[in-house]
Amino acid sequence: MIPKNSMSEFTDLAPTILRQRLVIEGYPEKPITDEDIKDYLTKLSDVCGMITLIQPVTHCSDTYGWAGWIHWETSGAHFYAWDQPLLFFSVDVYTCKAFDPKVATEFTKKYFKASKVATKEF
């Protein structure tokens, strides 16, 4: 049985392996399309200094909307976009190579002309 554990009690089981995580969420100016996601993830790769292994992949769920993913040599990023109940996006970046979260956040805010963004690093 795995014990219940909160994030504040998280134990780093591999302290010698760099892992950086960033969540960026926001309210875009307009609905986000398949092409927007592919272009954004491609450009985010450059902004974060990552090497792309495959071009972004996207899928649209009739229930939940668009999602996308890009695979980097040093992990990758997932993207989720909602049209309902409100225009909203959420990006999960996970890497084993350091990047500047402020640069990634500012790029994301400008790219989607977001009225507001929130971020969390862990």
Amino acid identity for residue 39 in this structure: D
- Going from N- to C-terminal start, the domains of the chain cover 17-121
pLDDT band at 7 (very low <50, low <70, confident <90, very high): low
The pTM of this model reads 0.90
Mean pLDDT of 20-30: 98
Give pLDDT tens digits for 63-121. Answer: 888 999 999 999 999 999 999 899 999 999 999 999 999 999 999 999 999 999 999 99
Q: Any idea which fold 17-121 has?
A: S-adenosylmethionine decarboxylase (3.60.90)
Write a three-state SS string for the chain.
Answer: CCCCCCHHHCCCCCCCCCCEEEEEEEECCCCCCHHHHHHHHHHHHHHHCCCECCCCEEEEECCCEEEEEEEECCEEEEEEEECCCCCEEEEEEEECCCCCHHHHHHHHHHHCCCCEEEEEEC
